[in-house]
Structure 1
Amino acid sequence: MRVAVCQLNSREDRAHNLVVARELLGRAAAAGATFAVLPEYVDFLGRSAEAPKPEPVDGEFAEFFATAARELGIWVHAGSFHETGPDADRTYNTSLIFAPDGERAATYRKIHLYDVEIAGRVSYQESRTVAPGENTVVAEVDGVPTGLSICYDLRFPELYRRLAIAGAKVLVVPAAFMLHTGRDHWEVLLRARAIENQCYVLAAGQIGDHDPDRTCFGRSMIIDPWGTVIAQAPDTVGVTVADLDLDRLEKIRTEVPSLANRRL
């Protein structure tokens, strides 16, 4: 199974962001990938006041990536977007997967929200504008059970263990990980999730500066179930491709049977 992680620098120009995303998906397909993953908030990353109107899961955003999947004949993970939420004040942060025929194969709403209050330093409450999802999701992508997550979810290992127990062999992490935490935590956390769950991890990140005053770490990567980084993006917009060896995954799970040996 050949996969691709697409690294973007999404800004406030939604139309431009979508053009770049489509071009990267085309490059992934040309490289032979059967599954391509885009980053969190692929269509818009900027000031909240200028954000596009939230959409349902069958809106224009979905149609754009359904068409891309159908035209390219590949599986497309459309990063995430602002889905219409449960009330007027909040959206969902939602990932969609489309099959090569353009049909929506999975929907996942980000469960964990970043709320922090440090006196005199930072005050940020994601839950004021985003509602949490409630369901874990494992989708069949080209016949491979694939567990879904988004960005801050990465810090909650219990989510990924639930996905592994549910049968996931691949874990997907679209993200807009910040530079100051990404430098120390991004790769460590991704490799940990791969090792402890004996899964491949596909992590597609935003890269570079975004308004207002934020910088994303990038370093999109693909990690094998042993925790080895088998492909990593340079610090630029682009596509990174690798082949997943599912026989190797089964070999690792047999020789180090930690999933089979768990007691909780």
Structure 2
Amino acid sequence: MRVALCQIMSTDDPRANLETVAAGIREAAREGAAVVLFPEATMACFGVPLGPLAEPLDGPWASAVRDLADEHGVLVVAGMFTPAPDGRVFNTLLVTGRGQHLGYDKIHLFDAFGFRESKTVAPGSEPVTVKLDDVVLGVATCYDIRFPELFTTLADRGAIATLIGASWGAGEGKREQWELLVRARALDSTSWVLACGQADPHTPNPKAPTGIGYSTVATPTGAIHAQLGPDPGVLIVDLDPDVVESTRATIPVLANRRL
């Protein structure tokens, strides 16, 4: 299965970001990708009021992404914001195309490093997988990567890969943590992990996470398979489900768990 990771830099304008998504989908489709992964907050960047921007999954922004996915015959995964019942929003990872149209609401909220995502964002509660061409894929968002149980749960539900959208905040040691966590979650779940982050604006917003780039793909043994640098770009990778099967036979940590 060929996957494209589109490392972009979102603005606060959903319409402009939709054009960026369209360009990424076109490039990925030309390269033969079946799945096109964008970062967290693709619809609109953090640091702006999210409530007025939030739309349901059947709203115009998500519907436009679905139309683009259908036009190019791909599955698109992209971060957006949907309304929550309590007046906050959900940090939603849209999964659309190839007969699918659903969302994953981020479970673990980024109340860390001086930022309180929970102030404006409500937590989700349910892990999400999707099946494409008989391959099960899990999805996760940014801060989720610090919680290994989510990744082993997705593997238990049949996922051979987890797709992550992120808006990873800059700071001392943050790139090292990003790479370590991507690799660790791959090894925990003996699955491919494909983590697509926002590109580095080189002038980070001190009030909200933006991005550092370095979208990374890790193998089921925790090795870095491919990686981008800090700037916008598209990373094309081919996933081999057989590598997952052989790794789980050699390192049966999922089968050997006692707790």
In structure 1, the partner of 2:79 is: 80
The TM-score, its normalising length taken from structure 1, stands at 0.90
The TM-score, its normalising length taken from structure 2, stands at 0.92
Matches within 5 A, 1:182-193: 182-193=174-185
| 1:227 maps to 2:226 | no
Matches within 5 A, 1:162-177: 162-177=153-168
In structure 1, the partner of 2:257 is: 262
Alpha-carbon spacing, 1:27–1:51, altered in 2? closer, same or farther (3 Å) = farther
In structure 1, the partner of 2:237 is: 242
CA contact (8 A) 2:9 2:198 kept: yes
| 1:146 maps to 2:137 | yes
Matches within 5 A, 1:1-264: 1-49=1-49, 52-77=52-77, 79-88=78-87, 90-101=88-99, 103-104=100-101, 106-116=102-112, 123-180=114-171, 181-209=173-201, 212-213=205-206, 215-264=210-259
Aligned residues: 255
Paired letter, 1:24: G
3-state secondary structure, aligned to 1:56: coil
**Which consecutive aligned stretches of 4+ in structure 1 deviate over 6 angstroms post-superposition?**
none
Q: Is the deviation greater in 145-154 or in 203-212?
A: 203-212
Q: Is the deviation greater in 196-205 or in 107-116?
A: 107-116
RMSD: 1.8
**Alignment partners' CA distance in 2, 1:30 and 1:131:** 37
3-state secondary structure, aligned to 2:12: coil
Write out per-residue CA displacement over residues 92-136 of structure 1, whole angstroms, 9 at most, x where no aligned residue: 0011211335x41x32100111224xxxxx743211100000111
**Alignment partners' CA distance in 1, 2:243 and 2:43:** 35
Paired letter, 1:132: P
Paired letter, 1:232: Q
CA contact (8 A) 2:43 2:81 kept: no
CA contact (8 A) 2:57 2:63 kept: no
CA contact (8 A) 1:138 1:168 kept: yes
Q: Is the deviation greater in 27-36 or in 138-147?
A: 138-147
**Alignment partners' CA distance in 2, 1:221 and 1:147:** 16
Write out per-residue CA displacement over residues 144-169 of structure 1, whole angstroms, 9 at most, x where no aligned residue: 11111100111111111111112211
Alpha-carbon spacing, 1:20–1:51, altered in 2? closer, same or farther (3 Å) = farther
Paired letter, 1:139: V
CA contact (8 A) 2:190 2:248 kept: yes
Q: Gaps spanning 5+ residues in structure 2: where?
A: none
3-state secondary structure, aligned to 1:236: coil
Alpha-carbon spacing, 1:154–1:196, altered in 2? closer, same or farther (3 Å) = same
CA contact (8 A) 2:76 2:95 kept: yes
